[in-house]
């Protein structure tokens, strides 16, 4: 057993002895104390060890039961994946088939996904026989899937050591503020949240872990703000992790007097770029926000602003478990806690991981990001989206000839469209957009669009010689339309 994993177990054993009756996890149906947590995790660990080898799929809503199984798989050293509820059914099927998971624990909302993948329900687990070797890198503890930058998201294979190094650093970063109550906001399938919960357990905090619907969050971008803000207030949360769009809602509510900062002491924000104006607004209302940066391929968090050590506008200094440097072309490179490899691809045996992000350090060692090398963008809900994927779907409807999709830092994606024939009406284009949206996960859908005044072309500089869109030129040339769409 890796040292970090054994140390994590020892921490939980100490909590179970020294704080046996303290609530470890609050759920909508009841609470679990630290003594109960350890006992229930170890019971599930035994059950998992009794089963034939093979990856384990967790398909449960956020709640104590999901955490118990997640920890049991970690301690049983069984590779696991948590099915993202914000993925489409086709994407979840891809995850199950690619990993060749042989066991699963699921609730009714995921039953159809499992049946489609060939699972049948048993006494304790959903089961299916192994068909082939998925080719998991040795030492894989968790397979976390990217947010689906294309139709078939990549499975990132991570070791327990990498995961727990990050959790330990997150706990150390928040320690000066001494938070004792943690509210899990994001789905457990989001690696950042998964590790945030581990950090809270290391600290001996009490965790509130409710299903997303109870939190007022639907899919990847739907929020019932009254319910969401009420959950924060009623939970008594002292720390939580947010994506920029949720931070915006919280700050706005505080500004309007709808709620108070209350006991919040450490609000980490990541998953996408945070506007400097939003950070300034948070500071003005007294909300303790700490921006960070990371990626699944580096086991989530790489840099983080910390209490007493922050530069607004930066993503903080690198955490102690990693090294970060800037390549000659400005790309951010990371060494330490990197992935073992992508599932189905050769193992990663390099020293420095190329992040695809551009950045620079200031004289004090704080990292500032300056966009992405490739076209992939990140919505304000922290979802990675490859616009070529959506543009291809739109152009395959038989109605749309050219499509340009954009959503960097925005809660909704928008599109500029040119139909196959100028005579096609806006109503027909709208039907085509909705037809396309029906087959996409909600974070990839087009929520607003405008008809282009003329098609893209090489003559006006909006297309390359081989017909690919020149994105920066399109953004520049159509700025009035884009401004209108982004504010709609």
Give the count of domains, the chain. Answer: 2
In a domain, 265, yes or no: no
- Residue 384's pLDDT band, with cuts at 50, 70 and 90, is confident
Tell whether 213 and 101 lie within a shared domain.
yes
Tell whether 362 and 479 lie within a shared domain.
no
Q: Between the CA of residue 283 and those of 7, 204, 255, 267, 315, what are the distances in Å?
A: 37, 28, 11, 12, 16
Tell whether 113 and 196 lie within a shared domain.
yes
The average confidence (pLDDT) of the chain is 92
Looking at residue 391, which CATH number applies to its domain?
A: 3.30.300.30
Tell whether 64 and 211 lie within a shared domain.
yes
pLDDT tens string 440-455 = 898 999 999 999 999 9
Beta 331-335 vs 323-326: how paired, if at all? antiparallel
In a domain, 195, yes or no: yes
pLDDT of residue 387: 87
Is the confidence at residue 207, as pLDDT, over 70? yes
Tell whether 209 and 164 lie within a shared domain.
yes
In a domain, 414, yes or no: yes
Q: For residues 471 and 386, what is the distance between their CA atoms, to the nearest angstrom?
A: 13
For residue 123, what are the domain limits? 1-241+319-370
Tell whether 401 and 453 lie within a shared domain.
yes
| Alpha-carbon Rg for the chain in angstroms | 23
pLDDT tens string 84-119 = 988 888 889 999 999 999 999 999 999 999 999 999
pLDDT of residue 466: 53
Q: For residues 94 and 82, what is the distance between their CA atoms, to the nearest angstrom?
A: 13
What average pLDDT does this structure show over 368-391? 84
Is the confidence at residue 134, as pLDDT, over 80? yes
Tell whether 390 and 366 lie within a shared domain.
no
Orientation of helix 3-18 relative to helix 160-174, angle to 10°: 50
pTM for the model: 0.84
In a domain, 38, yes or no: yes
In a domain, 294, yes or no: no
Tell whether 117 and 185 lie within a shared domain.
yes
- Residue 459's pLDDT band, with cuts at 50, 70 and 90, is confident
Judging by beta carbons within 10 Å of its beta carbon (0-12, 13-18, 19+), is residue 24 exposed, middle or buried? buried
Tell whether 32 and 105 lie within a shared domain.
yes
In a domain, 174, yes or no: yes
pLDDT above 90 as % of the chain: 74
Give the total residue count for the chain: 488
Tell whether 420 and 328 lie within a shared domain.
no
pLDDT tens string 58-94 = 999 999 999 999 999 999 999 999 999 888 888 899 9
What average pLDDT does this structure show over 222-238? 94
Looking at residue 356, which CATH number applies to its domain?
A: 3.40.50.12780
What average pLDDT does this structure show over 178-205? 97
Tell whether 335 and 478 lie within a shared domain.
no
In a domain, 168, yes or no: yes
What average pLDDT does this structure show over 267-285? 87
Tell whether 149 and 70 lie within a shared domain.
yes
Q: For residues 189 and 192, what is the distance between their CA atoms, to the nearest angstrom?
A: 9
In a domain, 279, yes or no: no
pLDDT of residue 351: 93
Query: CB under 8 Å to 145, separation ≥6 — which residues?
Result: 81, 84, 87, 91, 95, 153, 154, 155, 156, 189
Query: CB under 8 Å to 280, separation ≥6 — which residues?
Result: 312
pLDDT of residue 151: 58
């Amino acid at each position: 057993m890796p040292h970090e994993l054994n140390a994590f177990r020892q921490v939980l054993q100490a909590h179970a002895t020294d704080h046996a009756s303290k609530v470890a996890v609050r759920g909508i149906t009841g609470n679990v104390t630290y003594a109960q947590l350890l006992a229930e995790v170890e019971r599930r660990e035994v059950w998992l060890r009794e089963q034939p080898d093979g990856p384990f799929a967790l398909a449960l809503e956020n709640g104590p039961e999901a955490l118990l199984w997640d920890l049991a798989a970690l301690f049983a050293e069984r590779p696991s994946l948590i099915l993202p509820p914000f993925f489409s059914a086709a994407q979840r099927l891809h995850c199950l088939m690619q990993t060749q998971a042989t066991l699963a624990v699921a609730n009714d909302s995921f039953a159809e996904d499992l049946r489609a993948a060939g699972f049948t329900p048993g006494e304790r687990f959903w089961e299916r026989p192994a068909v082939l070797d998925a080719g998991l890198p040795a030492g894989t503890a968790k397979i976390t899937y990217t947010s689906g930058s294309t139709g078939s998201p990549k499975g990132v294979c991570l070791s327990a050591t990498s995961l727990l190094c990050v959790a330990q650093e997150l706990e150390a970063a928040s320690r000066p503020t001494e938070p004792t109550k943690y509210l899990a906001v994001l789905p457990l399938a989001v690696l950042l949240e998964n590790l945030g919960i581990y950090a809270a357990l290391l600290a001996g905090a009490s965790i509130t872990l409710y299903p997303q619907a109870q939190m007022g969050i639907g899919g990847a971008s739907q929020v019932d703000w009254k319910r969401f803000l009420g959950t924060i207030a009623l939970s008594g949360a002292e720390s939580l992790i947010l994506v920029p769009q949720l931070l915006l809602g919280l700050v706005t509510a505080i500004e309007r007097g709808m709620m108070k900062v209350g006991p919040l002491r450490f609000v980490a924000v990541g998953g996408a770029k945070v506007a400097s104006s939003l950070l300034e607004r948070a500071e003005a209302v007294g909300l303790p926000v700490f921006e960070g940066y990371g990626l699944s391929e580096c086991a989530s968090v790489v840099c983080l602003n910390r209490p007493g050590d922050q530069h607004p506008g930066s993503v903080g200094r690198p955490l102690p478990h990693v090294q970060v440097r800037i390549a000659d072309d400005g790309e951010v490179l990371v060494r330490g806690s990197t992935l073992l490899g992508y599932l189905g691809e050769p193992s990663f045996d390099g020293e420095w991981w190329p992040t695809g992000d551009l950045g620079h350090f200031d004289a004090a060692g704080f990292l500032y990001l300056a966009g992405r090398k490739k076209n992939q963008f990140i919505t304000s809900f922290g979802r990675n989206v490859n616009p070529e994927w959506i543009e291809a779907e739109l152009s395959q409807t038989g109605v749309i000839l050219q499509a340009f999709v954009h959503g960097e830092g925005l809660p909704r994606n928008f599109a500029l469209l040119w139909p196959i024939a100028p005579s096609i009406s806006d109503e027909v284009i709208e039907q085509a957009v909705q037809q396309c949206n029906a087959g996409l996960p909600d974070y990839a859908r087009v929520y607003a669009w405008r008809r282009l005044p003329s098609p893209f072309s090489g003559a006006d500089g909006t297309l390359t010689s081989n017909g690919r869109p020149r994105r920066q030129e399109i953004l520049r040339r159509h700025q009035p339309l884009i401004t209108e769409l982004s504010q709609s």
